[in-house]
Structure 1
Amino acid sequence: MNPKWRDGNQVELLINGEEYFPAVFERINAAKEEILLETFILFDDKVGRELQHALIQAAGRGVHIEVLVDGYGTADLGISFVWEMVSAGINIHMFDPHPKLLGFRTNLFRRLHRKIVVIDCQDAFVGGINFGADHLADYGPMAKQDYAVQVRGPIVADIHRASMDLFRKTQSRMHNRPDATEQKVQRHSGSASMLLSIRDNDSHLRDIEIQYMRAIRSADHRLMIANAYFFPGYRLIRELRNAARRGVDVVLILQGLPDMRWAQIASQFLYGYLLHSGIRVYEYCERPLHGKVALVDREWCTVGSSNLDPLSLSLNLEANLMIRDHALNQQLFEHLEGLAEAKCNEITLEQVNRGAWWKTPLSVACFHLLRHFPAMAGMLPAHTPRLEQLKPVAEDTEILDYKQDKTI
């Protein structure tokens, strides 16, 4: 699929599970023909159960449903949970399943990290929010801060096609299902221009990174990135430095209350270089930041699943929407500016320079590692991920029958 900018789209920003889940479930409950759903994580909790119920109800109305989960992120999904969906006629697939070794998951790399929902070729959702209760505030202090968008218009055909391309690799009968047509997709729903950018391990190795760099190079006065796992390659770091040096107000909002401490430590090794370049760095401390959003000037922004780290930029399957829309850009800017002012700690050079003597040489080593990590990360591990359909043999079975259909 060659990415193209599509005009005439409608877009709505959805912040956290409180806005995302009701919007998705409302559209699922109204679905008439088809639901395609991809997610990294699906939990058997109150959110997962609500999704399961909505999908089973839709299947009962005759809606064709395809669900794809990741073998690492959704490794512990219960047999009864799967059985209830499969017995209702829902097709569930797992990306790159591997058995655990001594209780630990072994498929660490090349994950399906995309979060996409397409309903009746009319509405699509793209973002970073998984189907789990940890995206709701009542989960507690470790509830995630995250973002997605709901879109309508010509871009839905591209999103539908991207999902179908993946699902077709699992079973031959999917080959006969058509892509979204112009007759199905609502035309000229709004004023937003959009481009779907995906990252895979085939022909779209650097698409998302390239779109980021193009936007950064075009920045004239403001650039904001809010990203959960920030350890990008040298090329992207250099473009951020160049933007700051030509007078662009470059602001990074990163994790201050991390769900994975090692990810925060990796980012912190870059702080000295970033601050010396004139880039402002904030750590969001109210809850774990899980977002993957950015904006440039007053038109461009992106929302999706891709972090700016080795996994997302060099290994995972990812999907981001690049969007040109003044209203969305301004809404996202006001929201992120509010986070920076009220719920973040600004990092200073004094803070970075304070502490152990070994921080400086280690920071230098990490910085130079950035020059080479894309090539190194792309080599590990050297395996071919596959999709397998989940088919419990019987309702009371203790073992799922994983039917391998095709490697990808």
Structure 2
Amino acid sequence: MQEIIVDGGDIKFFTSPKEYKQQLLLLITAARQRIFITALYLQDDDAGREILHALYQAKANFPELEINIFVDFNRGQRGLIGEKASLGNRALYLQLAHDYPQTINIYGVAVKRKEIFGVLHLKGMVFDDQLFYTGASINDIYLHQGERYRLDRYCTINSVALADSFCHYLSATFIDSSLAPLLNQAYLPDAPEQKKNLAKLKVLLRKSHYIVAQQQNNSQSKLVSDKTFITPLVGFGRRKNQLNQATRHLVQNAHDNIVLYTPYFNLPHALARDVIKALKRGVKITVVVGDKTANDFFISNADDFSTIGIIPYVYEMLLKRFVKRYQNFIDKGLLNIHLWKDKDNSFHLKGLRVDDRYHLITGSNLNPRAWALDLENGLLIDDAGQQLLATTNDELLGILANTTKIVHHADIESVDDYPDKPQKLLKKIRIAQIDRILKRFL
């Protein structure tokens, strides 16, 4: 794994979805050579259309500008959960390709045959020599287009080497290999051809990693206080997963404190063990997790409840079990659990901060699905001089302002407290022990 050296001042954090949208539009307008956007999806809604129109306008203003967008192949061809069968977001991509004389490329990356078994969960957008990293996708709620928002983390980094590394990976893995078809062209591979493409892509993904060009000042000591060291990581599958290994290494080597963000509390067994061992070493751990009502699958109207709406309740059950089992660490002040809730908005933050020096900025949800099924990436930042500490402290305080601290497992609702429909479904699930299977895919 190769490190990239940047000045601490070249890394900037933003704290709100409105800033995310503002920065995204500014970066699109300012780009002159290249735009590479990677997200789970780019939605056919007001925000998605605004971003796509801005991209086409940028291409019209600067014809030499290279624009490549990468979204999940399966997700890009369906509507929202509960909607009728449709072309999904691809219908918009095709329409705009017809309406505009300019050409931009929207690639569909199929990580697995079906979405339930794994998706393209890579994050990161490159605008010339700047990387904009966030776990957010592009739609109304992520960009706070209306009244509701989904909170994430947002970070820009000025670095030619880092931007080149991201673009090289995307080009070599998906474009040059011809294994990611264009969703904004009429032709798509038929089922047999796509099956062959998927098999080839899986082999490629298992070997893939970010390549970093040698920097002239790479010999500088980590004692240089104004420098920050960044390692881009990619992870796919259970074996030899760089991102998972780096995540565990951070927790295993923590000495003083850990801040862990996850929208869905369901830590992989190995990571959960590392967390417990850290607590036993005396490491103070703060976990910030979304309340079940801040989960994007939460259905507030009892009449509209469907099976998919059980997911937030499963996560809360897992959290309650964890708190109950490790109540002694809460009592000692070592384990601090904060539940985030802000009206009917949702929570989508991920990542780690360790010993006020190391930061893992990632789109990984730190759950079994992310660790075994999805294609994930992240940035491991070694902030030797703690240049980012004040900024990340401000970020943390802003997030904690909308949280409730759990002091006892009784603070978390039990199954008997739930509305009738989720309560009955959960009891069926527990009787059938299907929750063990659900945990693998959540």
Identify the TM-score tier after normalising by the shorter chain: 0.7 to 0.9
* 1:166 to 1:230, Cα distance in 2 relative to 1, 3 A: farther
Q: Secondary structure at the match of 1:19?
A: helix
1:205–1:314 contact (8 Å) kept in structure 2: no
- Structure having the higher strand fraction is 1
Give the partner amino acid of 1:265. Answer: V
8 Å CA contact retained: 1:35, 1:64: yes
Aligned match for 2:355, one of 290, 297, 318: 297
1:8 aligns with 6
1:280 has 2:336 as partner: yes
1:83 aligns with 2:95: yes
Matched, 1:318 2:318: no
Q: Describe the SS at the equivalent of 1:237.
A: helix
Partners of 1:197 and 1:320 within 8 A in 2 = yes
Equivalent-residue separation in structure 2 for 1:169 and 1:275 (angstroms): 51
Matching residue of 1:117: 125
**Alpha-carbon offset, residue 316 of structure 1:** 0.6
Aligned-partner Cα distance in 1 for 2:70–2:150: 22
C-alpha change, 1:251 and 1:4, in structure 2 (3 Å) is same
Going from structure 1 to structure 2, the CA distance change for 1:128 and 1:346 (only over 3 Å counts) comes to: same
Matched, 1:347 2:406: yes
Task: Give the superposition deviation at 1:349.
Answer: 2.6
Secondary structure of 1:318's counterpart equals: strand
1:222 aligns with 2:263: no
Q: Please give the alpha-carbon distance, in whole angstroms, between the structure 1 residues aligned to 2:126 and 2:45.
A: 23
Task: Please list every run of 5 or more consecutive structure 1 residues that lacks an aligned counterpart in the other structure.
Answer: 100-105, 381-408
For residues 5-404 of structure 1, the aligned pairs below 5 Å read 5-9=3-7, 10-60=10-60, 61-62=62-63, 63-74=65-76, 75=78, 76-85=88-97, 87-96=101-110, 107-120=115-128, 122-137=129-144, 139-141=146-148, 143-153=149-159, 154-167=161-174, 168-170=176-178, 191-201=227-237, 205-256=240-291, 257-261=294-298, 262-263=311-312, 265-266=314-315, 267-268=318-319, 269-278=321-330, 279-286=335-342, 287-325=345-383, 326-340=386-400, 342-351=401-410, 355=414
On the 8 A contact 1:126/1:319 being kept in 2, the answer is no
Q: Is the 8 A contact 1:113 1:305 kept in 2?
A: yes
1:353 CA displacement: 8.3
Cα deviation for residue 82 of structure 1 reads 3.0
Q: Indicate the SS of the match to 1:133.
A: coil
Choose between structure 1 and 2: higher helix proportion: 2
Cα distance in structure 1, aligned partners of 2:259 and 2:367 = 17
Per-residue deviation, residues 335-365 of structure 1 (Å, max 9, x unmatched) = 223433x311122334168756999xx99x9
Question: Measured at CA, do residues 16 and 162 of structure 1 come closer, stay the same or move farther in structure 2, by a change above 3 Å?
Answer: farther
Query: Does the 8 Å contact 1:16/1:144 carry over to 2?
Result: no
Q: Which residue identity is paired with 1:147? A: R
Change (3 A) 1:6 1:82: same
Deviates more, 1:261-270 or 1:124-133: 261-270
Separation in structure 2 between the aligned mates of residue 144 and residue 17 of structure 1, nearest angstrom: 7
Structure 2 counterpart SS, 1:108? helix
State, as a whole percentage, how many aligned pairs show the same letter: 19
- Shift in Å, 1:139: 2.9
Structure 2 length-normalised TM? 0.70
> Residue 170 of structure 1: SS of its match in structure 2?
coil
Please say if residues 295 and 333 of structure 1, whose CA atoms lie closer than 8 Å, have aligned partners that are also in contact.
no
How many residue pairs match? The answer is 350
Q: Measure the CA separation in 2 of the matches of 1:132 and 1:218.
A: 38
Query: 2 CA distance for matches of 1:78 and 1:157?
Result: 28
CA RMSD across the alignment: 3.6
Task: Name the aligned partner's letter for residue 139 of structure 1.
Answer: G
Distance 1:355 1:284, change over 3 A: closer
Letter of the 1:33 counterpart: Q
Give the letter for the 2:337 counterpart: V
The separation in 1 between residues aligned to 2:336 and 2:66, in whole angstroms, is 48
Report the alpha carbon displacement of residue 181 of structure 1 after superposing the two structures with TM: 6.7
SS in 1 for 2:229: strand
Kindly state the Cα deviation for residue 328 of structure 1 after the two structures are TM-superposed.
Answer: 2.2
Secondary structure of residue in 1 paired with 2:21: helix
Distance 1:349 1:191, change over 3 A: same
What amino acid does structure 2 have at the position aligned with 1:152? N
2:35 counterpart letter in structure 1: I
Does structure 1 conserve the Cα–Cα contact (< 8 Å) formed by 2:286 and 2:338? yes
Amino acid at match of 1:282: H
Letter in 2 for 1:347: I
2:42–2:137 contact (8 Å) kept in structure 1: yes
Normalised to the residue count of structure 1, the TM-score between the two structures is: 0.75
Give the match's secondary structure for 1:242: helix
Q: Is the 8 A contact 1:304 1:319 kept in 2?
A: yes
Aligned partners of 1:52 and 1:85 also within 8 Å: no
Q: Deviations over 1:371-398 (max 9, x none)?
A: xx7xx77xx9xxxxxxxxxxxxxxxxxx
Quick check: 2:20–2:143 contact (8 Å CA) kept in 1? no
